[in-house]
Each structure stands twice: as structure tokens, then as C-alpha cells.
A and B are shown apart, each in its own frame.
Chain A
Amino acid sequence: MIKVENLTKRYGELVAVNGVSFHVERGEILGFLGPNGAGKTTTMRIITGYISPTEGSVRIGEFDMADDPLSAKAIIGYLPENPPLYNEMTVEDYLDFVAEIKGVQKELKKDRVAYAMERCGIEDVSGRLIGNLSKGYRQRTGIAQALAHDPELLVLDEPTIGLDPLQIIEIRELIKSFAGERTVILSTHILQEVTMTCTRVIIINEGEIVLEESMSKLSQDTAHTAVVALKLRSSGAAVSEKLRSINGVDSVAEPQPGVFEVGVENGVDVAEQISKTAVESGWGLLEMRPVKMTLEDVFIKAISTEEE
């Protein structure tokens, strides 16, 4: 559905996006994750054709954004970081206008607008001025706007920003419901959002992709125990030495006397062996706790290795 090749955007000296390439298959929900200022918005603006890349190409479906921007734009629904709303219009008039300039045929327009409003739950404010709407309704109107011409591809830039927790859940459910039916790219700096809605994640930092992984693979990786935290009555190098000799143990660290962090090889369960050794050696096992790797750890690891 989307083929992004070697995308680079320079603003004078500043490189906002640097050689980003990725593909998105039809029906996927891709999470674009990164700290603020990583280049997420710039990438999305290039994908939607709002700005042009310095180098590289974007293909949407079968259309190249540089060669045939009108055909490419016609199948994209885009929610920018700030919802693009005319405050002096009512919700319905506004969606009507969007449908018109997005090229929806006159006979279909009414249905499209009704569908978008229903999908986003804004029917009850359809006659109100956008300027008088609450932040949550404004955001939803923004999403409805992106849906108005039944696009195959949705590009959502921070769709849940500024919403209250309940609204966030609703919007996430809405995005999740698009899976399979539409292709979605959504950017966020909130980790749970990716965990909860996406099928694949790209982590971007300082304009470059630092990690690209499907969520199922990622949750497999993070399901393993990566570290076992131990608290013993005994301490010292002899204990560390003996722990290290256990099969499947990678590393042992002792940040405080009696507190050990045992690094474990992927997929090996060492809990039983550790407890057995501890009892046999009379270390006085006070606490043993598996520490699972979370997406946060993956995220922080990906970003911090980049900085080194």
C-alpha cells in the first residue's frame, strides 16, 4: 500500500528526516513511535504530500506522490497534528465541504458524511459550530474529516493528543476497528497506544528508523524474562560466581550487597535452577522476581543505543 524509499528532508543545515525507508501492507496498522521532534510529523507530511522530500520517493498504492500527486492524495485521509477545522462552520457543513473537495460524488456525499459522523460518534453535535465544540469532539471531527471520502489509507498524526482517558480509549477502539479494512499509519509518543492498537511498530529517533518490528514478534520477545531480580542474605563475589555458572545465565550484577540482577538468555527458564542452588548453598533466599522486558525498555534501548 505504501512504499517509502530513502526519504530525506533537510531544512538548511537541519536534517529532519534522514534516509527513512519502509513498506506498509494493505490492512496493517502501523505505529510510528518516537520522542518529540524525532521527525514523525515531517514524515507524515511528506507521505500525505503536504511537503516535498529533499530526496527519496513515496508511493501510495500504485501512484507516485511526485508524479501523480492528485491520484495519490485522493486515497489518503489525513489527520494533521492540529485538527484542520473551520471554527465558523457547523460540523455537518464542514464535513460536507471536505467531502466535496476530496472529490466525493454528489450522490454519495450524504452517505459518506453520515458514515463518518456515525463512526466517530459526532452525530449529536452535527449542527453545532465547530468553534464551540470541546477538545474531544474537535479531535473526533478531525478524524471524521479524514474518513469523509472513504480513503484506503489513513494517516493520523497523534490522534489521541489532548483527550481525556475515556475518549482516548474510544478513539483507540475506533482505530482498531479499521484493521484489515483500511491501512492506517498513526504516530504517537505514547507507548501503550502502539501496544493497544498497532500491528507493527516503527521507532524513529533523530530522523532515522532505529527499530522496525511486528507487534506479535515484539510481544514474544518481551514475554520472556530477561532479568531475574534476587535478594539474598549472603553477598559477595563467591555468590556471583556460582550464579554465573548456572546454565542459561548471561550476566550477574550486584548493585547493592545481597541484591543481584541476573541476566538470562532468551527463552531459558532459570528460576528453578537458581532457587535450587540458593537453597543448597544456604544463601538465604529472601526474594526472587522475574523482571519482564516491556515495550518501554525496547523503546528506551532503541533510542539510547542510537545516541551512543
Chain B
Amino acid sequence: MKAVYAILKRELRSYFASPTAYIILLVFLVLSGIFFFVYLETFLQLQNDPRYYQEAPNLNEMIISLYFGTINILLLLMVPLITMRLLAEEKKSFTGEMLFTSPVRTVYIVLGKYLASLTLFVTMLCLSYVNVAMLQVYGNPDGGPIFTGYLGLFLVGASFLSIGLFASSLTENQMIAAIISFGTLLVFWVVGASSEMSSSVAGYLSIINHFESFINGVLEVRDIVYYVTLTLFGLFLTNTVLDSERWR
């Protein structure tokens, strides 16, 4: 397990030694910030709309839900960028030869890499909270859906990262890794997006269907199970690819 920590540490250092991490964080914050202020402005305009005198516009519904939905879509774009180099780079720069001849089980290498990407992702989420915190200071949104929303985003991101890591294990070309993970995530996204979750397999597999309840402040076991399973499956596939590569 010491090896997991060593790899995690090295991986994080390498994220922040190059501009990669900063650019990913910056782009994410700028994009999510722009959307946040669009939603905020719409909300403020509606507040003064006489048609809403009867029923006050709801902060959670009109800003936070939309904001979380936007972050979810942004993750689709950002996650492949976070994960693409994790394993592809090891192959390209021959460092894999050192890593995989070390007395370390492959699963620990996979875990170390994965936790590094997860750490960067959680940093992203924490920074995105600044906007929400502003609403909490100046308004009075319901805390429950914010909590479940973030939990949902964390689970979505965790499963995305594991798929991205898997894509990175398949090739030594970062660009190809990014394209594979983006394509796979997109398929998971659109598959059965039009069908109901309960009515079809495609509907159950769809990432977007499971996220809905989190935004509405509802925790459902089957949604949590879905994301955790997807994450473990991605890690398992990564481990299998790395192990089998040496048997070819």
C-alpha cells in the first residue's frame, strides 16, 4: 500500500509541475462560472417579474440544479483531459518498464494513478463550490439538494475517471486515449437518454438518468450502486489490460 501512496504523490506532483492541472482547473472554473452567472441573471430578472408575485422563484430549482447539470456536462469534456496521460505516458516514455518491473502489484499501480486523478477532480469540485457558497451567503437555498448534488457529481466523476483511466491503458498515444474516453462517456451519456430508466436496459445504463435524483435531493441506493459498479468495473478492466499486455 505504500506504493499506492508513492505513485499518488508522484502523479499529483507531475500534474502540478506542468501547466496541465492549472489549465484544466482554469477552463473548468471559467466555463462553469459563466453558466452560473447566466442562471443567476435569469433568476434575478424573474424575481422582478410580476407574474411570479404569487410564488417566489426557487434558488435550488432555478440556479443550483442547472449549475450541477452543467458541471456534469463539463465533466464529459474535462475528464478525458485529466486521465489521458496517466498510463499512455508511461508507455510512451518507457517509464512503464520501470514501473511494471517493480515489486508492486499492478492493482496498486492502477489505484495510485486513479486516486491521483480523483484528487484533482475533487479539487475541481471544491473550487466550484465557491459559486454555491455565494448563494448561501446572500440567499437561502435548501442545503439538502446541494449536498446530494455534490455527492452525485462526485460519483459521476469517479466513474468517468475510471473509464478514462481504462482508455489510457489501451494506447500509448494520449490523443487516442482522450478520444476513446470521450467517445465512451458520450455513448454512456446518450444511450437510453430518451428512454425511462425503469423501462429498458439502455435506460438503466444511461449515466444521465441516474444523476437526476441526486439533483432533486433524493438518494437512491440503485443510483449509488450504479456509479460504484461502473467505477470498479473500469478499474478492473484497466488492471486486466495492464496484466494481459505482458502475456501477449
Query: Given that A50-B246, A73-B103 are known contacts, is A80 also in contact with B94, CB under 8 Å in the complex?
Result: yes
Residue tally, chain B, CB below 8 Å to A: 26
Residues of A within 8 Å of B104, CB to CB, are 70, 101, 103
A265–B6 Cα gap in the complex (Å)? 62
Binds B, one of A83-91, A115-123, A208-216, A288-296: A83-91
Q: Which of B53-107 contact A (CB under 8 A)?
A: 93-105
Query: Given that A51-B246, A100-B3, A100-B6 are known contacts, is A85 also in contact with B103, CB under 8 Å in the complex?
Result: no
Residues of A within 8 Å of B93, CB to CB, are 84-87
Q: Is B18 an interface residue (CB 8 A)?
A: yes
Q: Which of B5-22 contact A (CB under 8 A)?
A: 6-7, 9-10, 13-14, 17-18
Q: Is B247 an interface residue (CB 8 A)?
A: yes
A93–B14 Cα gap in the complex (Å)? 11
Contact indicator per residue, chain A 37-67, by CB within 8 Å of chain B (1) or not (0):
0000000010011111000000000000000
Residues of B within 8 Å of A112, CB to CB, are none
Is B97 a contact of A50 with CB atoms below 8 Å? yes
Is B2 a contact of A100 with CB atoms below 8 Å? yes
Residues of B within 8 Å of A50, CB to CB, are 97, 100-101, 246
Residues of B within 8 Å of A82, CB to CB, are 94, 97
Nearest chain A residue, comparing its CB with the CB of B7 = A101
Distance in Å: Cβ of B207 to nearest Cβ of chain A: 33
Partner of B103, one of A51, A74, A89: A74
Is A70 a contact of B101 with CB atoms below 8 Å? no
Is B10 a contact of A102 with CB atoms below 8 Å? no
Is A52 a contact of B94 with CB atoms below 8 Å? no
Distance in Å: Cβ of A12 to nearest Cβ of chain B: 9
Query: Given that A78-B97, A84-B98, A88-B18 are known contacts, is A70 also in contact with B247, CB under 8 Å in the complex?
Result: no
A69–B101 Cα gap in the complex (Å)? 9
Nearest chain B residue, comparing its CB with the CB of A70 = B103
Residues of B within 8 Å of A81, CB to CB, are 94
Residues of A within 8 Å of B98, CB to CB, are 78, 80, 84, 98, 145
Partner of A70, one of B95, B99, B105: B105
Is B102 a contact of A102 with CB atoms below 8 Å? yes
Nearest chain B residue, comparing its CB with the CB of A74 = B103
Q: Is A283 an interface residue (CB 8 A)?
A: no
A181–B226 Cα gap in the complex (Å)? 55
Q: Is A71 an interface residue (CB 8 A)?
A: yes
Partner of A86, one of B14, B97, B100: B14
A102–B103 Cα gap in the complex (Å)? 6
Is A101 a contact of B6 with CB atoms below 8 Å? yes
Nearest chain B residue, comparing its CB with the CB of A48 = B101
Distance in Å: Cβ of B144 to nearest Cβ of chain A: 43
Residues of A within 8 Å of B14, CB to CB, are 86, 88-89
Q: Which of A1-21 contact B (CB under 8 A)?
A: 11
Residues of B within 8 Å of A87, CB to CB, are 93
Is A101 a contact of B17 with CB atoms below 8 Å? no
A81–B96 Cα gap in the complex (Å)? 12
A11–B93 Cα gap in the complex (Å)? 23
Is B101 a contact of A49 with CB atoms below 8 Å? yes
A81–B95 Cα gap in the complex (Å)? 11
Query: Given that A86-B10, A100-B3, A101-B102 are known contacts, is A52 also in contact with B18, CB under 8 Å in the complex?
Result: no
Nearest chain A residue, comparing its CB with the CB of B94 = A82
Interface centre among A49, A74, A93, A101 (most CB of B within 10 A): A101
Nearest chain A residue, comparing its CB with the CB of B20 = A88
Is A84 a contact of B3 with CB atoms below 8 Å? no
Residues of A within 8 Å of B7, CB to CB, are 101
A14–B93 Cα gap in the complex (Å)? 26
Is A84 a contact of B97 with CB atoms below 8 Å? yes
Nearest chain B residue, comparing its CB with the CB of A12 = B248
Query: Given that A50-B246, A89-B17 are known contacts, is A83 also in contact with B6, CB under 8 Å in the complex?
Result: no
Q: Which of B81-135 contact A (CB under 8 A)?
A: 93-105
Partner of A52, one of B6, B17, B246: B246
Q: Is A137 an interface residue (CB 8 A)?
A: no
Residues of B within 8 Å of A74, CB to CB, are 103
Pick the 6 closest A-B CB pairs, nearest first.
A84-B98, A100-B6, A74-B103, A82-B94, A80-B97, A84-B95
Residues of A within 8 A of B (CB): 11, 45, 48-52, 69-71, 73-74, 76, 78, 80-89, 93, 97-98, 100-103, 145
Residues of B within 8 A of A (CB): 2-3, 6-7, 9-10, 13-14, 17-18, 93-105, 246-248
Given A73-B101, A83-B94, A88-B17, 4 further pairs, Cβ under 8 A: A50-B101, A84-B95, A84-B99, A93-B13
List 27 interface pairs A-B (beta carbons < 8 Å), by A numbering: A49-B100, A50-B100, A50-B101, A50-B246, A51-B246, A51-B248, A52-B247, A70-B103, A70-B105, A73-B103, A82-B94, A82-B97, A84-B93, A84-B94, A84-B98, A84-B99, A86-B95, A87-B93, A88-B18, A93-B13, A98-B98, A100-B3, A101-B3, A101-B7, A101-B99, A103-B103, A145-B98
